[in-house]
Amino acid sequence: MTAADAMRRVDVHPRPDGSELADVTIDGRQTPRPVPLGGLGLFLSTLSDRGRQPVGVSIHELTGTVHTGVIWPRNPPPSPSAGPFEPHETVHLASILRSGPASSTGIPPLLEPPRRTGGRRLVLLGDQSGHTCPSPHARG
């Protein structure tokens, strides 16, 4: 797959009423609300950063002129061979004291402290990425 295949397509059409708003489509789908022209840069960079992919932009002026460009994510995605965490991010090692199911509405359970302290499972938590994974078994 090439970068062009993974690219989101955004078309921006400023409104002719002088409202400083633009109608925007992303991959052919209209956004629910118009985007203020003054916030267009932030809108596009956020779209690129959150999706971790480039965004191809076409701005269609009222005169018929079309300006095109590509917005690249500020934090490119890790290579496929990379680990589960961002390069150089702080990773926490946490001990799982007790586990339980969340409620039917997704609320975490109220867990009482464990009665014994041995044999705890451990988990790694990435500070920036929010990724978690089981830690390798401790040796010793």
**In a structure prediction context, what are the per-residue pLDDT tens digits for the chain, which is 140 residues long?**
455 557 899 999 999 998 899 999 999 999 999 999 888 888 998 888 888 889 999 999 999 999 999 988 876 555 554 667 777 777 877 777 667 777 777 666 665 555 555 566 677 777 666 777 776 654 43
**CA–CA distance, 69 with 55 (Å, rounded to integer):** 8
Q: Do 125 and 114 form a contact (C-beta atoms < 8 A)?
A: no
**β-bridge mates for residue 60, sequence order:** 66
Judging by DSSP bridges, how do beta strands 21-26 and 8-14 pair with one another? antiparallel
pLDDT at 108: 65
Separation between Cα atoms, residue 54 and residue 129, nearest integer Å: 19
Lookup: tokens for 91: 């990773």
DSSP 35-48: EEGGGHHHHHHHHH
Q: For residue 72, give the 3-state DSSP assignment.
A: coil
Q: Which residues are 23's β-sheet partners?
A: 13
- Please choose, from the candidates 86, 94, 95, 92, the residue with its C-alpha nearest in 3D space to the C-alpha of residue 129: 86
Coil, strand or helix at 91: strand
For residue 5, what pLDDT is reported? 55
Which pLDDT belongs to residue 50? 81
What is the structure's pLDDT at 82?
61
- Strand 91-96's sheet: what is its strand order? 91-96, 121-126, 132-134
Report pLDDT for 24.
Answer: 95
